[in-house]
Copies of this chain bind each other. A is one copy, B any other.
Amino acid sequence: MDSQKRLDYLLDVLRERGNRLTPQRVAILRALVRNDNHPSAEQIHGEILRDFPTTSLATVYKTIALLKEIGEILELGFGDDGSRFDGRKPYPHPHLICTQCGAILDSEVDNFNKLIDNLASRNGFSVQTHRFDIFGLCSACNKN
């Protein structure tokens, strides 16, 4: 799904819920679905400030909380500065995280859900969600 379609979808969902589409909120959504972007709250805030200089970090967090509530954002709970977020693919999937430059690549694994279910059922566990993160050096940082 490209950024524009994803943005339009999110705007529709919020409209239907009766949420207001303020300029700040739209700008935050836009930053969240921007291509190849797994921004932190701080990074989103920085981007927003260009267009809406008075936007506060609290508003960014509140919008993220709203998206969490409706399951349209995935929180990647790591980072030396705060958490980073995936607003494009809000379902759990593997991430490749570069420990040097901070880049985050999405990935997929065949039959991964089956693997998880097997693992869980072996322990009498029922799965709600999961997290799978691989840390290392991206191809660009490997060359340096």
Contact = CB atoms under 8 A, between A and B. Distances in A.
A133 B131 contact: yes
Contact of A105 (B107, B125, B131): B125
Name the residue among A120, A134, A136, A142 with the largest chain B CB count within 10 angstroms.
A134
Interface string A103-126: 001010100000110011011111
A139 B123 contact: yes
Interface residues of A, number: 32
Contacts of A107: 119, 122-123
A130 B120 contact: no
Given A120-B134, A135-B128, A138-B125, A109 B115 contact: yes
B134 A127 contact: yes
Contacts of A96: 119-120, 123, 125
Interface of A: 77-78, 94, 96, 98-99, 105, 107, 109, 115-116, 119-120, 122-139, 142
11 contacts: A96-B120, A98-B125, A99-B128, A109-B115, A120-B136, A123-B138, A126-B137, A128-B135, A129-B136, A131-B131, A132-B133
